[in-house]
Amino acid sequence: MRLDGRDAAAVADAAKHLAAGELVAFPTETVYGLGARADDDAAVAKIFALKGRPTGHPLIVHVADRAEAERFGVISPLAERLVEAFWPGPVTVIVRRVPGAAAAAAAGQATIGLRCPAHPIAHALLVAARAAGVPGVAAPSANRFGRISPTTAAHVIEEFGEDLLVLDGGAAQLGIESAIVDCSRDRPALLRPGVLTRERIEAVLGSPLAGADIAAPRAPGTLEAHYAPRAKLRLMPTQMLRTALEVLGSDPLKLAVYSRSVPSGVATGVRHRRMPARPEQAAHELFAVLRELDSTGVHLIWVEEPPPGPEWDGVRDRLSRAAAT
Ligand code: TXA
Ligand code: MG
């Protein structure tokens, strides 16, 4: 059931659903989330079941403000800096978990991921849910495990059908998931890049971030293969894409191309989408474009590598994972 998220009665309805231990999908500024009350292990189990997500993969708990975050995690001095600078906003902090809090959402780990979203509908939902006795909402992206994250209510319905309550908030503004910073270790690590660049996060922390690699065992959900379209996606440098199109790009039924330039080798009829020159714009449309190209039934999606530079890290990360299947 799709409800208009700008309608206060719809938000109140959704909050009641959450309070009753049911699932609700809702918009955030990054992607749509599939939420359940974080303090109810049985409700959280419904998320894992619906997504087909292995139970070892911890979920992010969404909170209305910092005080709510403290019910679940211990905000360390490093995490504090990020919370101060970026909340509400697209940064998730991993901190030590308050013993006994949100055990199922944290997949039993001693740490927990906390995020305060900057979307007015997400915020309204969290506030209404809190008033109904819900202390925080566990929510992964509202897609089946391993598939492309949803940036519209229609994408969520594509994933899970019409039975699920979905608050519609239009297209997600940023389009890729939050940056995840693990503050639970001696040296903070960027587990997943987002729209906020590594530089901006490091400037606030006052220290360099370790890469995701050293943290790999602690972030089972940041799998190499993720965001997978049905078609085989290949990420190629500009020249390789040109050559490949000249040699092989003749079958419009099988091939779609997402590239910054329109390569001369693109045969007529090959589906082509142009990658925006600005990284924020590319992030905003990325998952919708992948879904759209995939839905045409092509066997191959060839994507030109984004330009180098840290402002493209988030988009590059999602594309490499989509290619890694
Ligand atoms: O933008 C976002 O973060 C979106 C929206 C809905 O808020 N949510 C999202 O959730 O992307 P999900 O579940 O698709 O990704 C959560 C990531 C996973 O890679 C998971 O492994 C990691 O966060 N994570 C969560 N808790 C963790 C923890 N305690 N330690 C390490 N990684 C954790
Ligand atoms: Mg996800």
> First and final CA of the chain: distance in angstroms?
32
Rounded Cα distance between 195 and 315, Å, is: 8
Average pLDDT over residues 179-190: 95
Instruction: Count how many residues are written for the chain.
Output: 325
Rounded Cα distance between 130 and 20, Å, is: 13
Overall pTM > 0.85 = yes
Between residues 143 and 224, the one the model is more confident about: 143
* Residue ranges around ligand 1 (CB below 6 Å): 28, 30-31, 33, 57-60, 92, 94, 106, 109, 111-113, 115, 117, 139-141, 177-178, 180, 191, 218-222
Distance 242 CA to ligand 2 centre (A): 32
Average pLDDT over residues 285-293: 97
The alpha-helical segments, DSSP class H, found in the chain are 8-19, 41-51, 66-69, 77-86, 120-131, 153-160, 198-205, 238-248, 279-295, 313-323
State percent of the chain over pLDDT 90: 84
pLDDT of residue 219: 47
Q: Nearest C-alpha to atom 15 of ligand 1 is from which residue?
A: 140
317: helix, coil or strand?
helix
Average pLDDT over residues 168-185: 97
Average pLDDT over residues 271-296: 96
pLDDT of residue 222: 58
pLDDT of residue 325: 73
Beta strands 91-97; 111-115: pairing state: antiparallel
Rounded Cα distance between 37 and 223, Å, is: 25
- Amino acid identity of residue 141, one-letter, is S
Please identify, in words, the CATH class of the domain defined by 232-322.
alpha beta
* Mean confidence (pLDDT) of the chain: 93
Rounded Cα distance between 262 and 264, Å, is: 6
Task: Please tell me the number of the ligand nearest to residue 57's CA.
Answer: 1
Is pLDDT at 195 greater than 90 in this prediction? Answer: yes
| Short-list 155, 139, 144, CA closest to 289 | 155
Distance 143 CA to ligand 2 centre (A): 7
State percent of the chain over pLDDT 70: 93
pLDDT of residue 262: 74
Rounded Cα distance between 216 and 231, Å, is: 27
Is pLDDT at 217 greater than 60 in this prediction? Answer: no
Task: Please tell me the number of the ligand nearest to residue 94's CA.
Answer: 1
Distance 58 CA to ligand 1 centre (A): 7
Q: Nearest C-alpha to atom 30 of ligand 1 is from which residue?
A: 219
For domain 2-211, give the fold.
Answer: DHBP synthase (3.90.870)
Task: Please tell me the number of the ligand nearest to residue 103's CA.
Answer: 1
Chain segment 41-67, per-residue pLDDT in tens: 999 999 999 999 998 999 999 999 999
Query: Residue 216 — very low, low, confident or very high, per pLDDT cuts 50/70/90?
Result: very low
pLDDT of residue 220: 43
Task: Please tell me the number of the ligand nearest to residue 147's CA.
Answer: 2
- Number of C-beta neighbours around residue 42 at 10 A: 10
29, 34, 86, 92, best to mutate for ligand 1 pocket (most atoms within 8 Å of CB) = 92
C-alpha dist (Å) from residue 96 to 7, 44, 63, 65, 74: 36, 20, 16, 18, 6
Structural domain boundaries in the chain? 2-211, 232-322
Chain segment 11-33, per-residue pLDDT in tens: 999 999 999 999 999 999 999 99
Between residues 220 and 293, the one the model is more confident about: 293
Distance 139 CA to ligand 2 centre (A): 9
Query: Residue 265 — very low, low, confident or very high, per pLDDT cuts 50/70/90?
Result: low
